[in-house]
A and B are shown apart, each in its own frame.
Chain A
């Protein structure tokens, strides 16, 4: 009941109406102006294609392949970002020695080196996971480093004044402080993971939604391409939504910073 009420919230209702109106206009214009489906397919044609994907079951193996790439790549990339980011933040010598090179490495466009990974790791799952992990790694790394740097100096003094050891300050203050930006990094990485997997599949693959887009494009099935794009954006939204939900649970003190109700 409350969920239904939230859907009926005027702002949500307005944006929902806007979407419906846009889709209706799109459909209307396509019909009225006889736009070729090769240029811009109408929404109903895309919906029909999407339905047939699931009815015939052709999409499942591709969907599964891409999902595995996204999740494995995300997990490895994020874990590497966390570990190396924490080391850079907490061990000064690592920061001095390693960080400049990592930043330099970051300037290389990952898309440009994707073909290399195909050569090194083959057309299978591994190359896609490596590319996805690499794309997730940097935003995560930067977020972790920034997170550890964001600890409030006055809070550090407070811990010191109450006699906290370095370890206690780390566990009780620095890590929780860093969480806010770490979760921001996770949010960014979750969206980039989808891009990473698709880029990898574009360069060379035997299965996956990116591979499917290339194949459909080749046979000029534009409604099919649009249908896959919808599936991809749903995956992206789901990943992002999941991260936000987890973040809201673990950094509950952040978004509730509204003025106190009790005086």
Chain B
């Protein structure tokens, strides 16, 4: 563990590895409390502090009930913080923004619309029906390997394809930040690995800041520049782990010794919190 901390420190001091700029998102002493139906007060998030830099890929990992989805909902402007601040480029996030794209756990496509119409939804909501927009939607779908499916309906697509459409939709308005809430959690293991690679490809093409929520430690390490490790009751950040694996990463990366070390280290963070070890 000492060795690991040393490596982490080395990485931080190495400017060639530094892809960072100034913080795009600044989360400071964020707290979120709910009152359940039975009148019980629950603290979903407690004292969360995090800076997310431009073009950074942040993985958030933690057991269920650690508030990771609540954190994403606050970033998306769907839920209000109880106290503390969440700033995006210096502005407080209070409602959904057009420069944020969201991918949900389920694909959440409109079943009565074609694939193309689903991808164009964010543009249509802004009454943007320009040719350029249609071109962009078609480009995104082609990039995601869905060129021949633009006129199909969601029910004609497999789960993985539906989620790809959902990613296209989130990218439609060229958001500066992409929020992903366990987007591949409902997919089988093979499709999931394929989607991970696909996402890496998208991320290298359309440089975005990504906040990726998952409950899979290997997935978090494979994708992220940094892994935010959260623990439940109350939901808080236990540690932020730098992932010093080179890019581009492939499925072979998962076989590298360093990958295994990082996964083990993150697992050990959960292990030290005995009450959460079973949740994983």
The answer for the CA separation of A173 and B124 in the assembled complex, in Å, is 13
Residue interface bits B44-80, CB-to-A below 8 A is 1, else 0 = 0000000000000000000000000000010011100
The answer for the CA separation of A195 and B104 in the assembled complex, in Å, is 47
Identify which of residues 242-277 in chain B touch chain A, using a CB-to-CB cut-off of 8 Å.
none
Contact at B158–A253, with CB atoms within 8 Å? Answer: no
Known: A163-B122, A260-B158. A173 touches B110 (CB 8 A): yes
Asked if B4 CB lies within 8 Å of chain A CBs, one says: no
Asked if A160 CB lies within 8 Å of chain B CBs, one says: yes
Identify which of residues 176-197 in chain B touch chain A, using a CB-to-CB cut-off of 8 Å.
none
What A residues does B169 contact at CB under 8 A? 162
Contact at B155–A260, with CB atoms within 8 Å? Answer: yes
Nearest residue, chain B, Cβ from A168: B125
Least distance between B279 CB and chain A CB atoms (Å): 23
Task: Classify chain A: how many residues form its interface, as a range.
Answer: 20 to 34
How many interface residues does B have (CB within 8 Å)? 27
Contact at B125–A155, with CB atoms within 8 Å? Answer: no
Asked if A33 CB lies within 8 Å of chain B CBs, one says: no
Asked if B108 CB lies within 8 Å of chain A CBs, one says: yes
What A residues does B100 contact at CB under 8 A? 161
Contact at A262–B155, with CB atoms within 8 Å? Answer: no
Determine which of A157, A165, A168, A263 lies in contact with B78 in the assembled complex, contact meaning CB atoms within 8 Å.
Answer: A157
The answer for the CA separation of A252 and B113 in the assembled complex, in Å, is 11
What A residues does B98 contact at CB under 8 A? 163
Known: A260-B155, A263-B158. A162 touches B122 (CB 8 A): yes
The answer for the CA separation of A176 and B110 in the assembled complex, in Å, is 9
What B residues does A103 contact at CB under 8 A? none
The answer for the CA separation of A155 and B105 in the assembled complex, in Å, is 11
Known: A163-B98, A164-B125, A176-B112. A256 touches B155 (CB 8 A): yes
Contact at B78–A155, with CB atoms within 8 Å? Answer: no
Known: A155-B108, A173-B110, A253-B111. A163 touches B156 (CB 8 A): no
Contact at A257–B155, with CB atoms within 8 Å? Answer: yes
Residue interface bits A223-263, CB-to-B below 8 A is 1, else 0 = 00000000000000000000000000001110011001111
Determine which of B112, B125, B156 lies in contact with A162 in the assembled complex, contact meaning CB atoms within 8 Å.
Answer: B125
What's the count of A-B pairs with C-beta under 8 Å? 62
Say whether chain A's binding surface is mostly helix, strand, loop, or mixed. loop
What B residues does A157 contact at CB under 8 A? 73, 78, 104
Least distance between A165 CB and chain B CB atoms (Å): 8
Least distance between B74 CB and chain A CB atoms (Å): 12
Contact at A158–B125, with CB atoms within 8 Å? Answer: no
What B residues does A176 contact at CB under 8 A? 110, 112
Known: A161-B77, A162-B125, A253-B111. A262 touches B158 (CB 8 A): yes
Nearest residue, chain B, Cβ from A258: B155
Known: A162-B96, A173-B110. A253 touches B153 (CB 8 A): yes
Known: A157-B78, A172-B110, A253-B112. A163 touches B102 (CB 8 A): no
Least distance between A262 CB and chain B CB atoms (Å): 6
Asked if B121 CB lies within 8 Å of chain A CBs, one says: yes
Supply 9 further A-B pairs (C-beta < 8 A) apart from A163-B96, A173-B110: A157-B73, A161-B77, A161-B78, A161-B102, A162-B169, A176-B110, A253-B112, A253-B153, A256-B156
5 contacts between A and B (CB under 8 A): A160-B78, A162-B121, A163-B97, A253-B154, A260-B158
B interface, CB within 8 angstroms of A: 73, 76-78, 96-98, 100, 102, 104, 106, 108, 110-112, 121-122, 125-126, 153-158, 161, 169
A interface, CB within 8 angstroms of B: 154-155, 157-165, 168, 172-173, 176, 251-253, 256-257, 260-263
Closest 8 CB pairs of A and B: A253-B111, A158-B108, A161-B102, A162-B122, A176-B112, A260-B158, A161-B96, A164-B125
